[in-house]
Structure 1
Amino acid sequence: MLREVRERVLAVPGARRVYRAAMLWLGGFRGEIIALRASALTYLTLLSLVPLLAVIYSVIDLVSGHAPFHEGVQKYVNDQLGIGAGAAISVTLTEFTSKATVKTLGAIGFAVLLFSSLSLLWNIESAFNHIYAVKQARSPVQRLLKYWAFLTLGPVLLSTSIWVTWKIGQMQEAHGHGHAGHSEILHVLAALSSVAITYAGFGFLYKVLPSARVRIRSALSAAFVAGTAWELAKFVFAALSTRLVQVHKIYGSVAVLPIVLSWIYISWLICLSGCRFAYALDASRKSELRSPLLIAAEAREVFVARVFLALVKMRRSSPVRAGPIARHLEVPRRLVLEALRALEAAEIVVEAKRGGFVPAREASRVSIAELRAAGRRSLGFPQQDPDATGEALSRVFATAEQAAEGALDESVEAFLRRVEKPAPLGVLEQKDTPPAISPVISRIKP
């Protein structure tokens, strides 16, 4: 019954793509460890917040030269960062940023502030690139140019938006008393202009910062979702923080610190979730998603085979440990050790008494099919009691495996000779790049 309802819903035009996007978005909370990255960015924000604001305020003073612009941007930033903290965070930020200028710090000190600001943008881009599974990031020069544009154009656009909000507020004060309807309209416009700044900021981040092609529609849709969630979170967090009396009793004069930390963490969690949503919208336009189990099985088979190929290439006269192979493949050592244990269980490699692994037999006597079988067995699917259906499926799969044996009967030595003709077997150094077997292995990163 439920299956029929699901099929009918997915038959609606566009419903299947919405379903794929939702599955991609939800899967990201496990795959990209968004919560952990939000925690890391929260820590980096604490270190780089004052330098970043100091650079932004300096750019605004350099461009405008008017105090109202500086004060307007400063008030807006303090209001966003001080959700639930009241005037305490505003006074502290104003005091710190007013001291962080070129006159007070000098050229070297201000250069350190600029470096801290760039490091925060660098880590934000890295988090976005990880969500988009970017294989080749921008060069350092391209990154610096883009960050410089952020630090120069961003404050100008922000101050312009806040100036519009400020002018609307002035109009409300000047003409609102005599016209009640006029005052309400201006009040709504002022509120919408503040929300529009939020949407524009998220959209700008999602479109420009990732080192991937992001459709403008996906970036705007994600900005709308993330911006709305952020505005709602501001309202809820401000309401809850006023009732956190116990926090002040526990932390005393530094009670504002856990409140600010919590709000920064929530903000980054929403920001990264919005980036994942933009990625899901773009990825959902592609062909039908494959089953996660099939993807995991293929990735495991390829990875186990690649570990054995690296072992064959790196071994000379002594056993090879898991650490060098992990550095060679640029993957965690734990994954390499698991693959070596799977190969050992399949009697393809053996562990030396003094540590390290060696092939159990020559590469010419190990077939690709054996490596594939070792990878499959290492997945560890639960065994089930045999029945008529299971036995019938086993016979069908056995027939398919027999048909595939011809293509996988190639030995490892023959495979390496065919793929890497210039490089003879066993001559490559441990730092050499392993052969590219399948793009699936590129998903396995530390």
Structure 2
Amino acid sequence: MTTPQPPAPSPTERRSRALDILRFTLDFAAHRKLTRVASSLTFTTVLAIVPMLAVVLALFTAFPLFAEFRLALETFLGESLLPPSVSDTIMRYLNQFAAQASGLTAVGGAFLVVTSILLIMTIDEAFNEIWNVARQRPMRQRLLVYWAIISLGPILTGASLWASSVLARESLGYIGNLPEGIGLLLNLVPLLMSVLGFTALFVFVPNCRVLWRDAALGGLGTTAVLAIMKAGFTAYLTRFPSYTVIYGAFATLPIFLLWIYLSWLVVLMGATVASLLPALRLHRWALQRQVGAQAADALGILRILWQARGTLPPGRSMAYLEKHLRVHPDALRDMLGALRELGYAVPVADGDQWVLACDPARADIGPLVDRLLIDRAQTELRAGTLEALSLTLQGNPPVLDALFAGDATENRNDDAQY
């Protein structure tokens, strides 16, 4: 016997769902203050990336072994990351800085390292904030990773870009006239490199588990939006050269700053999409706005842990809870943290398994209600309010006259005294 399939959503339902998803994503981005984070990253990028690229280009020039690495990096920066209207000027300035990098003093080198670490720390903190990671990596581990990125990142990037360019060049020289499809695929190599780079960024930077498919979709979307933005940016500057008219010879600077800001904003939005994909698969955008959803999730966790008493291995894993409760990993971590603070549940083993930590015959849900619904100890509650709430939950809500009748008597007595 086949299970009947649910009816397909109508076009109106699809539009409503798409608007709900878009609103949910934009609300999340606004809550994380991505525009402010993009501004901070823009400032730090100008301080760190520009001089660091100049030093990298200088090192590639000093060692003939890396000469082709430099050419591949310059081509990638000029053709893939920067708008054509400013790429020539920016690359000329970078090459001028690179020619003078040999005179960099120890103080200048230390400043370059510090600003580079600050940039990576800002990216790290921003991504962990997007993925709602409460626990950062240990500082020793973070510094080791940062140093590896600063020292090995440029070489690995240049090597990968050089390898892709050599592959394309040798293929063209060996085969001759390539079919149109293969030629188009080779032209897409820089875009594929960008997708892989953003995917790796979204997987390895947050201090939590990120699915490769979610990171890949986020990286693909980020690369596509950057390519569209680059084309639109170029068309705007070509048809409406207002920056050139106003700033004259200095027009490259504001254009460059605006491009960096918009690029970081797109990258942060791509990370946001990658972090929200698990929630979207669970249709959690519709539940985020319901009052009391957190309390319902917490009670659902306690119910599963109560049912798992005496099982081997003890408790339930986070993957099990996520699957059976259809809870986003971020919300699940928040709820488990709250239950741990209230003494209801504790992690075991490596922290992935959770067990009931209280005696279910004695523990009540009072602290959970105080934490997630209404604090019964607050002095602002009127007499009879908790009783009215209890009646409401039982399906027998009192009318306003019955709820405030005692207040009217008290007010008349107070007026008589004055």
TM-score bracket, shorter-length normalisation: 0.5 to 0.7
Residue 216 of structure 1 corresponds to: 212
Deviations 1:277-316 (A, max 9, x none): 1110134456845343526998xxxxxxxxxxxxxxxxxx
> What aligned pairs does 1:166-205 form with structure 2 within 5 A after superposition?
166-171=165-170, 174=173, 179-180=176-177, 182=178, 184=180, 187-205=183-201
CA deviation after TM superposition for structure 1 residue 18, in Å: 8.9
Residue 356 of structure 1 corresponds to: none
Distance 2:292 2:55 in 1: 45
Supply the AA of the counterpart residue of 2:278: D
Contact 2:51 2:97 in 1 (8 A): no
Supply the AA of the counterpart residue of 1:81: L
Contact 1:69 1:163 in 2 (8 A): yes
Residue 282 of structure 1 corresponds to: 278
Supply the AA of the counterpart residue of 1:92: Y
Question: Residue 56 and residue 205 in structure 1: after superposition, are their counterparts in 2 closer, same or farther (change >3 A)?
Answer: farther
Greater shift in the superposed pair: 205-214 or 105-114: 105-114
Residue 413 of structure 1 corresponds to: none
Residue 410 of structure 2 corresponds to: none
CA deviation after TM superposition for structure 1 residue 400, in Å: 3.6
Structure 1 counterpart SS, 2:207: coil
Residue 352 of structure 2 corresponds to: none
Contact 1:222 1:274 in 2 (8 A): yes
CA deviation after TM superposition for structure 1 residue 253, in Å: 0.6
Identity %: 28
CA deviation after TM superposition for structure 1 residue 9, in Å: 2.7
Deviations 1:1-45 (A, max 9, x none): xxxxx99539xxxx9999986564233222112122212211221
Deviations 1:346-373 (A, max 9, x none): xxxxxxxxxxxxxxxxxxxxx9425286
Supply the AA of the counterpart residue of 1:105: L
Deviations 1:37-93 (A, max 9, x none): 212211221121223314544675799833121222133224423543142111112
Distance 2:44 2:93 in 1: 18
Structure 2 counterpart SS, 1:157: helix
Contact 2:83 2:234 in 1 (8 A): no
Distance 1:254 1:296 in 2: 53
Question: Residue 402 and residue 34 in structure 1: after superposition, are their counterparts in 2 closer, same or farther (change >3 A)?
Answer: same
Residue 161 of structure 2 corresponds to: 162
> What aligned pairs does 1:345-424 form with structure 2 within 5 A after superposition?
368-371=375-378, 397=389, 399-400=391-392
Distance 1:19 1:244 in 2: 32
Supply the AA of the counterpart residue of 1:77: L
RMSD (Å) for aligned C-alpha atoms: 3.9
Contact 1:219 1:278 in 2 (8 A): yes
Supply the AA of the counterpart residue of 1:31: H
CA deviation after TM superposition for structure 1 residue 398, in Å: 5.6
Q: Select 1:294's aligned residue among 279, 291, 294.
A: 291
Distance 1:166 1:288 in 2: 43
Residue 146 of structure 2 corresponds to: 147
Contact 2:76 2:190 in 1 (8 A): no
Distance 1:222 1:73 in 2: 24
Structure 1 counterpart SS, 2:376: helix
Contact 1:55 1:151 in 2 (8 A): no
Distance 1:259 1:61 in 2: 28
Supply the AA of the counterpart residue of 2:217: S
Question: Residue 238 and residue 400 in structure 1: after superposition, are their counterparts in 2 closer, same or farther (change >3 A)?
Answer: same
Distance 1:127 1:21 in 2: 22
Distance 1:195 1:287 in 2: 31
Supply the AA of the counterpart residue of 1:26: L
CA deviation after TM superposition for structure 1 residue 230, in Å: 1.2
CA deviation after TM superposition for structure 1 residue 276, in Å: 0.4
**TM-score, normalising length from structure 2?**
0.62
Q: Select 2:237's aligned residue among 237, 241, 249.
A: 241
Distance 2:20 2:159 in 1: 39
Distance 1:225 1:152 in 2: 29
Supply the AA of the counterpart residue of 2:378: L
Distance 1:69 1:297 in 2: 52
Supply the AA of the counterpart residue of 1:167: V
Structure 2 unpaired stretches of 5+? 1-5, 296-373, 396-418
Number of residue pairs matched by the alignment: 304
Greater shift in the superposed pair: 114-123 or 161-170: 161-170
> What aligned pairs does 1:28-177 form with structure 2 within 5 A after superposition?
28-54=28-54, 56-57=56-57, 65-79=65-79, 80-100=81-101, 103-171=102-170, 174=173
Distance 2:117 2:147 in 1: 8
Contact 1:134 1:211 in 2 (8 A): yes
Deviations 1:316-372 (A, max 9, x none): xxxxxxxxxxxxxxxxxxxxxxxxxxxxxxxxxxxxxxxxxxxxxxxxxxx942528
